[in-house]
Amino acid sequence: MKKTLFIVLFLSLMTVSPVVAQQYKYEVGPTLGMTGYLGDANNGNLFKHPSFTVGGQFRYNHNSRWAFKANLNYANIRGDSEKDETWYPDGANYKISASLIDLGLTAEFNFLNYGRGPAYKKYKPISPYMVAGVGFVFAICNGHNQASFTVPFGIGVKYKYKERLNLGFEFTMRKEFSDRIDGLSDLNGIKHSFAKNTDWYSFAQFSVTYEFGKRCIKCNYIE
């Protein structure tokens, strides 16, 4: 009788206690990548004068579809109008190298149910996503300082390598609203409006993030 009760209890525990991957609310980690620039000193190929960016990010995972991220980057952008065969009045040529401190607050939407867990939840360990938000940039170029608001937007892909370790790649464009992060403006003598300035920059970044902050689990429902 006791043996029978033990077998029944064991089978019941196996039935109601499936293995569930732990879910975490937060991620943090470094980023590294390449920058591109479009502006008065480069109005052609975005990556004709590539440079670098390095930074870090903090992500809050609201659920398997939505996440919110803060990022801080240090970057460099370069351009040379002579090599781009851009002709300005009086035959002037412009070569720039600017240092940027970039801050962004963005929202991410995963196209797939991103994560790891029981099969019935249909999690996927890899998912493409789109990202958009608001930002701020402080630029130092040829001895001139300039601050501006930005609008970052782009696409990316994330891969859950292990339960708490994520790998990612993201490409974003950043529209800035001062037309002076390269220290140049209206070189053809034509005034641009606030919305039609010529300065853009981009980040192509790889990231590694580590998750922390366990979610509370009650009755197999992750809150």
pLDDT by residue (tens digit) across 24-77? 999 999 999 999 998 877 877 888 889 999 999 999 999 999 999 999 999 999
Whether 119 has a pLDDT exceeding 80, the answer reads no
Residue 13 lies in a domain: no
CATH of the domain at 149: 2.40.160.20
Residue 125 lies in a domain: yes
Range of the domain at 112: 20-222
Q: Is the full-model pTM beyond 0.95?
A: no
Residue 94 lies in a domain: yes
Residue 7 lies in a domain: no
Whether 108 has a pLDDT exceeding 80, the answer reads yes
Please compute the mean of the pLDDT values over residues 145-161 and round it to a whole number. Answer: 95
Residue 159 lies in a domain: yes
d(CA 162, CA 21): 11
Q: Quick one: pLDDT at residue 84?
A: 65
Residue 3 lies in a domain: no
d(CA 191, CA 179): 11
Beta-carbon contacts of residue 42 (< 8 Å; ≥ 6 apart): 48, 49, 79, 80, 81, 84
Residue 8 lies in a domain: no
Whether 89 has a pLDDT exceeding 80, the answer reads no
Name the domain count of the chain. 1
Residue 6 lies in a domain: no
